[in-house]
Amino acid sequence: MKSSEKIINVALNVPVNELFDYLSNGEDIQIGQYVKVPFGRRNLIGIVYSFASSSKVEKNKLKKISYIDSEVLFDKRLLKLLSFVSSYYHYPIGQTIMSVVPARIKQDKSHINRIELLIQPTETLTQEVINALPKRQVRLRKLAQKLLEGPIRQSNVSKTISSPLPLIKVLEKANLCTTLEWQLKSDSLSAEAIPKLNSEQEIVISKILNHNGYKAWLVHGVTGSGKTEIYLNLIEKLLKKNLQSLILVPEINLTPQLESRFIRRFYDKKIVVLHSFLSDRERLKHWQQAKSGEADIVIGTRLAIFTPIKDLGLIIVDEEHDASFKQQEGLRYHARDVALVRGKELNIPVVMGTATPSLESWLNTKQTVEKFDYLRLTKRAISEAKLPSIKLIPYAKDKYSTRLSQELLKAIEERIKKRQQVLIFINRRGYAPVLVCTSCGWTPKCHRCSAKLVYHRQQNKLRCHHCDHQQVMISQCPDCGNLDLLPLGKGTQRLEDELENYFPKASILRVDRDTMRSKKALNDLYTKVNEGDVDILVGTQILSKGHDFKNLSLVIILEIDHALYSTNFRSTERIFSQLTQVSGRSGRALIEGDVLIQTNFPNHPIFHYLKNHDFSGYADLLLEERKQMNLIPYSYMAILTVQAKAFSCVEEFIDKAIAEIGKIKTEVNFFGPVRPTLERLKGFERVQIIFQSNDRNDLHRFLGQWMNAIQNLTEIKRVKFSLDVDPIDF
Ligand SMILES: [Zn+2]
Ligand SMILES: [Zn+2]
């Protein structure tokens, strides 16, 4: 078949689950290339997905592809993975593929210089020569002048002269400069002293390395058991075989620390990071370095699982239990689950590390699951370091009192005296979560969400933590005119204020989403803490993971009671893991660590297991509960959320959508319509239908048919909807 006769199936960022047919423009074309095509009145960027010999559309009505880029973005294996992801999460194929294409390519700005040049002046370049250059060539003269001072990196030229490459070429042709590829000099870096492995770590490493091909390894190790050291050893072996490794981390705040540890160990290797704090330009550059094979090690957050990597030999999922691996909008994938599919497809090992496995993985360790293996680390890597002792502290009797109890204050003071650090964990930012009128009980609510506004004292504002609506603080109750408005409860800001009163000489650092807005802020935090510039850290869950603070000996956990009795059945699993993680920050080196938890429910079973550092016991208890209630991981679920500004639009659509369920012969159960906890969000009324089945294939067969049926309903035009497969939030 001549290429001019081929029908080209292109994936486009369009919300229908189909490919679009085009004719070739005569040029050679390959699967995975990115192209531009006419679509309606616009030109869209798409990816060549497949070829066909015929089309549903008449051949004379088919349009030609208008532009073909020479670069193949995705190979067939990655396209196969994306196709699986599209069908598993019931998300349109074109949107699935386009949601993992780097932003700059989608904006059609992909042509960055992949190689950076070092420009060196030749001896011919003199002031006289520059003076003789044409006067009109201002930029050329400027560049030549700069070069006269000495060699310069291309990126530094670009800061003052825009698109300098053609100018550099002109000078090079005139023999006024030479260019060579600029490379990071590694001699200034020193290799990290490699810690000696303990016997448990050695066993884990040799088991993984002695197995060929795909296997999912769950490395379950107590906090501080040296999981990172295991990753480093595995990667080292891969590097010797010239294979690349991909490490997925749950959140951006873990990457700077991990990155620097990797750079210290593999100082002569190319390490790239992929996360949302990067500029689109950097992101594309790193993506291309992964794809070309130039990057030896790729560290990234969830989206990195879709990065094309030339010779991928190992995938590591650090903190596999972490909820941030689940994307909560658009393509709602779970990066850990996609990692397993990708590893299987490439026939390479996937190593999942955690101190608190997800119940899904925990159940896999109990059942004989093919190609799934469980490895345990029971000791802390530094042999003298012990797990911290955990103690429960009751609240003060006066229930409106938000003050820290005497016992807590005394404990903090003791540590400050010893020049040790304290971490206070409170999973709530702002000053106070609720403001209440002491006379009539009125509280300010967001007009766009069914949520209360949070008081932020520094800005003197009330803010919604769901839609980020902000308004000036009020001085008077709008209902009864009372001037006495009482902030109830405590957030990070209030705690910081209070601590400043008690410990005026201490250096206190608040760490939450309001203070940690950039990668730099995170880096600074880590440096400050490790250099001993901080006495007390106050923070949200940002602080609970990964950070290795060697001088930290006391962790205090506040305000967790509400999470113990949440409506989300996953809440206790999550809180246990969070408490384990945050407790694990304490006493990691040679100082003994203590953890104090303030609670009104000391008899809740979670504390019994937490105090005994008994994850297995608690996980088994939770699994038993889930089994009795037939919940995840014993059954499979999906949630359809429908939203619109007018509730009537939602209602009309939901009625029709439920009627369509009845037309399909299926064993799948459904519940609904139900209103989610946040009934209204960002001005949209929301309604859900929840699906549940004991058979994963049944559920997907049903969802496939039903999603097709509801896409054809006319009412769908007036609503927004999303399907969440394997949901984690309810
Ligand atoms: Zn009032
Ligand atoms: Zn809101």
**Minimum-distance ligand to the CA of 486?**
1
Residue-level pLDDT at 551: 82
Determine phi and psi for 685, rounding to 5 degrees: -80, 135
Res 467 pLDDT > 50: yes
| 707 vs 551: which has the higher pLDDT | 707
Give the pLDDT of residue 186.
38
Q: Which of 158-162, 381-385, 463-467, 601-605 has the lowest mean pLDDT?
A: 381-385
- Alpha-carbon distance 660 to 693, whole Å? 18
Cα 680 to middle of ligand 2, angstroms = 8
Q: Is the pLDDT of residue 188 over 60?
A: no
Ligand 2 centre to CA of 451 (Å) is 6
Contacts of 132 (CB under 8 A, 6+ apart): none
Give distance in angstroms: CA of 497 to centre of ligand 1.
Answer: 26
- For residue 332, the CA-to-ligand 2 centroid distance in Å is 22
Ligand nearest to the CA of 464: 2
> Rounded to the nearest whole angstrom, what is the distance from the C-alpha of residue 600 to the centroid of ligand 1?
29
Give the per-residue pLDDT at 187. 36
pLDDT of res. 253: 64
**Could you tell me the distance, in angstroms and rounded to a whole number, from the CA of residue 452 to the centre of ligand 2?**
8
Average pLDDT over residues 546-561: 81
DSSP state of 225: S
Distance from residue 356's CA to the centre of ligand 1 (Å):
45
Residues with CB under 5 A from ligand 2 (ion): 446, 448-449, 464, 466-467, 469
- What DSSP line would sit under 89-123, residue for residue? TT--HHHHHHTTS-HHHHTT-----SS-EEEEE-T
Q: What is the mean pLDDT of residues 345-357?
A: 95
Distance (Å, whole) CA 248 – CA 639: 26
CB-based burial label for 10 (10 Å; 0-12, 13-18, 19+): buried
Residue 280 CA to ligand 1 centre (angstroms):
49
SS3 249: coil
Cα 103 to middle of ligand 1, angstroms: 49
- pLDDT for 184 equals 47
Distance of CA 118 to the CA centre of its chain: 35
* Mean per-residue pLDDT, 226-252: 92
Q: Taking the CA atoms of the chain, what radius of gyration do you get in angstroms?
A: 29
Residue 322: CA atoms inside 13 Å, Cβ hemisphere, count?
A: 25
Tokens of 125: 């370049």
Please compute the mean of the pLDDT values over residues 300-314 and round it to a whole number.
96
Q: Where would I find the beta strands (DSSP E) of 399-506?
A: 421-426, 434-437, 454-456, 461-463, 470-472, 485-488
